[in-house]
Amino acid sequence: MAYFFPIISLVYLLCGAYDVSRNTGLNLSTIRRYFFGNGVLLWVLSPINVLLDILSLPYINKGVYRLEDMPPGHQDEINRLIKGAIDADLVRQVEERSKEHKRALILWRYYGVPTETIVDVPAFNGPWKYIETIGLSVFNTKISTSLHFGWMRASLRLLYNINDIEEPSAYIVVGNTTHRWCDGKLFIFDDTLQHLSANETDRPRYCMYVDILRPSPFPACHGSRLRGRELRREKNQIGQFVQVDSG
């Protein structure tokens, strides 16, 4: 055991250094948060994430993506999901029941497994080859997350704003990139990069909350059976899931 400890320590040191260096605008605060704050679990999983990066080649992790950066199959599923969300008129259906919560996450699909929820949307039933999680993230007025990291790079996080926001004070920050929902409804990013979401407006912000498998020659290696990632959630009286640090 004493023989392997230095090797394991070196692996974690190298993987952690590579992992945290991927953050644009890297500073001492980010490094401290990664190794000693809410990024510790990401560091623990860093060797697996490095392996996922290798298995994704030749698809380079861009950090922040445009729709056209995704392969055609991914684009087709994203467009189908967005159409289903728009056709379902979700804001009207959930606004009364969600306004009592500062933040809420309503799930229709969780890592490939359908879930019971307060609103039935047949379009979300699939079939899906690449989309793993389908949810609706609700931020009521004057709500922000802290800076935080996701845990696994098997998937990308996709957010799509389904209500019209005109103010620039509803946004998401990923490294040096700030995306304001008044400038565009779709945002795709690697959520293992440090990020935060904010809604400083006087009206709620509703975003589809989606995990989609990373482009890879080996999609099975990125599938939900190999991840085992758990969302910290709490079920309340209206069948929603309230999540800490959701996007």
Residue range 19-64, pLDDT digits in tens: 999 999 999 999 999 999 999 999 999 999 999 999 999 999 999 9
Q: Give the bridge partners for 106, in sequence order.
A: 136
* E strands, 111-176, in order: 113-114, 131-139, 143-144, 155-161, 170-174
User: Is residue 107 within a helix (H) or strand (E), and if so which, with residue range?
Assistant: strand 103-110
CB 105 within 8 A of CB 243: yes
pLDDT tens digits, residue range 173-202? 999 999 999 999 999 999 999 999 999 999
Per the confidence metrics, is the pTM higher than 0.95? no
Q: Give 116-157 pLDDT, tens digit per residue.
A: 888 889 999 979 999 999 999 999 999 999 999 999 999 999
3-state secondary structure of 167: coil
Residues whose CB falls within 8 Å of the CB of residue 89, separated by 6 or more in sequence, listed in order:
none
Dist CA 246 CA 232 (whole Å): 10
